[in-house]
Amino acid sequence: MCRMIGAISAGNVDVERYLLRSECSLFMQAVKGRQGDGWGIAWYIGESLKIVKSEKPIYEEADEFEKVVREISTSVLLAHVRKASNPRNLPRELIIGLNETQPFRYGNRVFAHNGVIRVPDEAMSLLGNYRKLVRGNNDSEVYFALLMKEWDRLGEASKALKAVEETLQEALEASGKNYESPFSSLNAIFSDGKKLYAYNRFSDEEKVLSLKSVCYGGSPYYVMTYMAGENELVVSSERIWKNDEWKLLGNGLLMTAWIEHGKIRYSTENIID
């Protein structure tokens, strides 16, 4: 599975700390977890969204990754390293490429996901015109397109996430497949440049909670964690360094963070009730 980090700052995000310098930086998460199927970084310069991606293992492009990281100055950051899922059982060469590499972009929105969508083709048949957003064979891209469709329709990320889960359940029922849930996890970090969102959602709780984080093994694999200060908030697939100030984001919770009067504000909302 994948690892990802998002951050928002009232000043400039400490990009190097999160992606390079820390004991469990995104780079180290990729090394320890062998997330070797691509990497990507997205950030905003004013209202302009920038993305750099590669389908190659991040640890084989350490110099290039470091060069990109050191050049970033931003108040909103999202980064992802991939360990490819393959619910369609396709040949490996069809699931590794730039089209499959996250983050994904739609207009000024950017999105990254960790988990498996178990019925991607059935879900894709429900996308309508938004099917054009799916350019590769990554099941995460189907989730991305569903979220963008519902966000446009409903106008709010929280309502869109609820609608996505309903759609995925509909797709599972149409598939006739014997899964208890249409997904393993809907964990996602995404942004529209003004707000940073982090959604923690997984199924099969007993099994999921038995899987442990890559670096320290002290938290469940699918439970994201965050640290919020007055000037900066960072959320990650797992702790970036050892510190008791990291808080777990519970199953079904959406965290929304923004900048207000030069300070970080954030809220959490239960999406699954």
How many other C-beta atoms can be found within 10 angstroms of the C-beta atom of residue 180? Answer: 8
Please state, in angstroms and rounded to a whole number, the distance separating the CA atoms of residues 231 and 178: 47
Count of domains for the chain: 1
The predicted structure's pLDDT at residue 152: 98
Which pLDDT score is estimated for 208?
Answer: 65
The pLDDT score that the predictor gives to residue 218 is 79
Strands 225-228 and 247-248: antiparallel
pLDDT recorded at residue 205:
66
pLDDT value, residue 150: 98
Whether 38 contacts 99, CB under 8 Å: no
CA dist 75 and 194 (Å) reads 9
The CATH number linked to 125 is 3.60.20.10
Q: What pLDDT does 201 receive?
A: 95
Q: Which residues pair with 209 in a beta bridge?
A: none
**pLDDT value of position 108:** 96
Full-model pTM: 0.96
Q: Mean pLDDT of successive 10-residue segments in the chain (273 residues)?
A: 94 96 96 94 95 97 97 97 95 96 98 96 96 97 98 97 97 92 96 97 75 84 93 96 90 97 96 85
Please confirm whether the linkage preceding 87 is cis (ω < 30° from 0).
Answer: no
CA distance 113 to 144: 8
Cα-based distances in Å from 257 to 85, 229, 243, 245: 29, 11, 21, 17
Q: Which residue has the tokens 């007055």?
A: 230
| End-to-end Cα distance, the chain | 26
- Residue 93 sits at φ, ψ, to 5 deg, of -65, -15
Distances (CA, A) of 150 to 70, 163, 197: 36, 7, 15
Q: Which residue range is the domain that position 163 belongs to?
A: 3-270
Degrees to nearest 5, angle at CA 52 with 133 and 85: 55
